[in-house]
Structures are given as structure tokens and as C-alpha cells.
Amino acid sequence: MGCGASSNTAQSAPPAAAKAQHSMPPPKVKLTYFDFRGRAEPIRLLLEAGGVKYEFNGISQDEWKNLKPMAITGGLPILEINDKPLGESLAIGRFVARMHDMTGANNFDAACCDMIVDTVNEIFFQKMAPIMFMPEEERPPALKTLVEEYMPAKFAILQKFADKNNNGYFVGNKITWADIYFFAIFDLMNAHLPAEACEMIKGKFVEPCPSFQKILHNVKNNPGIAAYLKNREPPVTDA
């Protein structure tokens, strides 16, 4: 009988704990970055997809000079949860994804999401973003080399995941942070690259791949993201 009582108590505890958890106020969330999209934009899309209420603190370069000595990892973005700071964009993105069930159904799915996000991050932030800061006359040949010599192998890797799943998501059967980061690179390209460069990249890698098109469509039409994009200044990725 003692074991039975213990079992009943154990079974009744989770609903009470869940009720207490639901009664807690939502955390105070603040995202600080420069006053443009950049590395903060994928995080904002994740927060919007997760239905998180947050404050975006867009700062100037002058404001950053004063803030930098106090930055937890010496850079931006910074995400604060109830005044507790987190740094590094991928660590922040992974944290938000875990908190809002966007890392797949199990640890293997989560690792697949990480692989895809790392690949996407390399394409845009490590390889493409530096081109945007080159002198204007140097950008076209650098971009041409990137598109012709580097991107095909990377997009082929991503396409293997997309084609294998073949349901509008890279991993599993619902949106993950891998899908959102993939959408984000095209969204950022539209914002920061000349229109002809965006069309060249989309024409070479997205238009021939229905699986990519489905993923971009699903992310763009996620209710939280769709509402955010509707009220954000254009351009918005077409898919």
C-alpha cells in the first residue's frame, strides 16, 4: 500500500507543478544589437516563431563603445532573460530554439539542426557578409567567385537534407531553427545585397529546388513570423 500511495503522489505531482509553472509570469526578454538586422535577425525570427514577447534594443556604434566593456562575450548580440545575459549569436539561437521546441524530436534531430545551422551560418556570416564591407568595385568579382566556386557544394549539402525529408522542413515534420536560419540568409541577402546578386543566387540554388522553396514558404507563413514580417520594413523574402 505504501508503494501505491507513493505512486499516486508521484503521478499527481506533475499537474500541480505544471499549474504552478503556468501561473508564473513570463520572463523579461531583451535583445540588444546594432540598429540593423545582421546577426540579430535570425534570433528575432526565432523569438517571433516562439511567440515570445521581447524588447529589441537597437543601439548605435557610439552606444556600443560604452556597452562593449560590459558585454558578456565582448560582442553583440546579447540576449537578456530576466537580466541574465547570454552572448554569441548561435548559442542564443540554440537557447531560444530549445526553449520553444524548435530543435526536432530527439537528440539526433537536434544535432542535424546544428549541422544545418552551422552550414548556413558559414555561407552567410563567414563568407558572404565580409563581401558587403569590401570597396564597391571589389564586390562583383568576389561575389562571382563565391557563387561559382564555394556555394554549389554547400547548397548541395543543404539540399540533401531538404530532399530527403521532402516535406517543407529540413528536420522532422515541423519548423525548427534550421529552417528559420535558412530563411534568414535569403532575407538578409535581400536587405544587404544588390537585387541582381540576390536574383542570381536564388536562380542558381532555390528555383531549381522545390524542397528549398517549400521550406522558405513554410517559414514565411509561420503565424508569428508572418505577423512580424508584415509590420517590418521591406524587403521580405519571396518564396
Mean pLDDT of 90-103: 98
Is residue 10 very low, low, confident or very high in pLDDT (cuts 50, 70, 90)?
very low
11 within some domain:
no
138 within some domain:
yes
Residue 233's pLDDT is: 73
Whether 237 has a pLDDT exceeding 70, the answer reads no
115, amino acid identity:
M
134 within some domain:
yes
pLDDT digits (tens, 9 = 90+) for 208-224: 999 999 999 999 999 99
19 within some domain:
no
For the domain that residue 194 is a member of, what is the CATH number?
1.20.1050.10
The parent domain of residue 220 ranges over 107-231
Is residue 42 very low, low, confident or very high in pLDDT (cuts 50, 70, 90)?
very high
C-alpha–C-alpha distance, residues 169 and 236, integer Å: 20
C-alpha–C-alpha distance, residues 192 and 199, integer Å: 13
Number of domains in the chain: 1
Q: Three cell numbers at 200?
A: 542570381
Helices (H) and strands (E) in the chain, counts: 12, 4
C-alpha–C-alpha distance, residues 239 and 233, integer Å: 18
120 within some domain:
yes
Residue 24's pLDDT is: 81
226 within some domain:
yes
Residue 25's pLDDT is: 87
28 within some domain:
no
Tell me the chain's radius of gyration from C-alpha atoms.
Answer: 20
Mean pLDDT of 185-205: 90
Start-to-end Cα distance in the chain: 62
